[in-house]
Amino acid sequence: MNDSDNSVCEKAALSLFSSNSPENPFPIFAQLRETGAVIPITVPMGGTDRQQWLVTRMEEVSQVLKDHAHFTVDPETIDGSNEFKKAFMENTDPSAPDTFFTGKSMLSVDDPDHRRLRKLVSKAFTPKYMESLRPRVQKIADELLDKVQARGEMDLVKDYAYPLPIHVISDMLGVPEADRAQIHDWSKAISHGLGLGVRAPGVEEHLRAFGEYTAELVADKRKHPADDLISQLIAIEEEGDKLSQPELISMITLLIFAGHETTSNLIATGTLMLLDHPQQLEKLKSDLSLAPSAFEELLRFNGPATMSGPRFATQDIVLAGQQIKKGDMLIPLLKSANRDECPFAQAEELDITRTINRHLAFGHGIHSCLGAPLARVEGDIAFQTLLRRMPNLRLSIPREDISWHFALSSQSLAALPVAF
């Protein structure tokens, strides 16, 4: 690759990190994969001179996510510094309660701390337990559609895709219904305001408010325990299982945030993808038993996360012919890996009957999404219920008028007006 090609490639890649990210980034991903599996890039972050690499293909992304001997989420374990966390914390009041962005959560530590933290909540997220929630998820889905059925139209984001997962995770955790709209506001501000080298003005206030709210919720649960996951985590903490108060707050903010934000995005974006592919939509409507496989294909085709959190090389290693030095930062592009032509024939086509051995929408390795079983139950019910009750679902505005929210790690619909 000559200097000119490299410049064009880097310019295209950097557009993924801007607020002007294209609605359809997949041609950029294809260009990056053609260029190489591991590509040097300079992401404007400030405060770091680490070499940065984009990882574009399935095999190499999987290796970076799974090989914890050579790659870590926590650069402090390599050289004692974490300039990325310092950038997040720059204007943050140190007296503010920790959140999953500012404290040590499962996202930001590796084993043995990661294993200890994940073990505390893993029993609540088993496929068996998630399946037991089906009646409750179904009830929520039907109640949401009951509210709009007679109108013949709705904003699918506001009326269905957003409230369904937040009600489910809030019920599990014990978050009062009256507080859920405020949590949505905080979550939206955080998801759109923080990213790799990105921090919107005022986002620290939302982080602080979210952390303070969670600390108050925990204090209330200590006095009035109930049959919910927060109360269970408090009980575990009091039994001496080494879950500190900061870890507890970080854990709960992570569960609240991750428990609805990505699933919301997937339900809304997945619906639009089906509307964009009418033959696939008709195939699903004629056989709703295809919903689970359709859900997996929608995850592969356009999942909620553009990239995973960065990994850092713990030692020198050669990856796809590139010499990676100890301390270098690697950015695994999940959406690119999921369109890799090697594991997926006709990867750029949506095929709801596709047999998928593995995709990376939920990540891979020890940091794979804890809530994947819950998301699968919610997605299955969400799509089946929507198409069963509203078989004539269609856009109620021109396709080109649909607007998006862009963030570094995700892309979400601002609204999705539909008629039925």
What integer pLDDT is reported at residue 92 of this predicted model?
57
pLDDT score recorded for residue 238: 61
pTM given for the model: 0.90
- pLDDT at residue 73, rounded to an integer: 94
> How wide is the angle at C-alpha 290 spanned by C-alphas 350 and 356, nearest 5°?
55
Distance, in Å, from the CA atom of 222 to the CA atom of 108, rounded to the nearest integer, reads 27
Q: What angle do CA 215, 219, 220 make, to 5 degrees?
A: 120
pLDDT tens track for 238-279: 665 667 888 888 899 899 888 888 899 999 999 999 999 999
CA dist., res. 395 & res. 276, Å (int): 10
Amino acid symbol at 184: H
Please say if the pLDDT value at position 303 is more than 90: yes
**Architecture category of domain 3-419 in CATH:** Orthogonal Bundle (1.10)
The pLDDT value recorded for residue 302 is 96
Q: Is the pLDDT of residue 197 over 60?
A: no
- Res 271: pLDDT: 98
Q: What stretch of H or E contains 39?
A: strand 38-41
Out of 41-55, 113-127, 189-203, give the one with best mean pLDDT: 113-127
**Helix residue ranges, H only, 94-244:** 113-122, 127-132, 134-149, 156, 163-173, 180-193, 203-223, 229-238
User: Is residue 350 within 8 Å of 277, Cβ to Cβ?
Assistant: yes
The mean pLDDT of the chain is 88
Give pLDDT tens digits for 31-52: 999 999 999 998 765 556 789 9
Give the tokens for residue 376. Answer: 């699968």
Task: Output the pLDDT for position 376.
Answer: 95
**Residue spans per domain, the chain:** 3-419
Give, for 336, the enclosing helix (H) or strand (E). helix 334-337
CA 147 to CA 149: how far, in whole Å? 6
Residue 409 has pLDDT above 80, yes or no: no
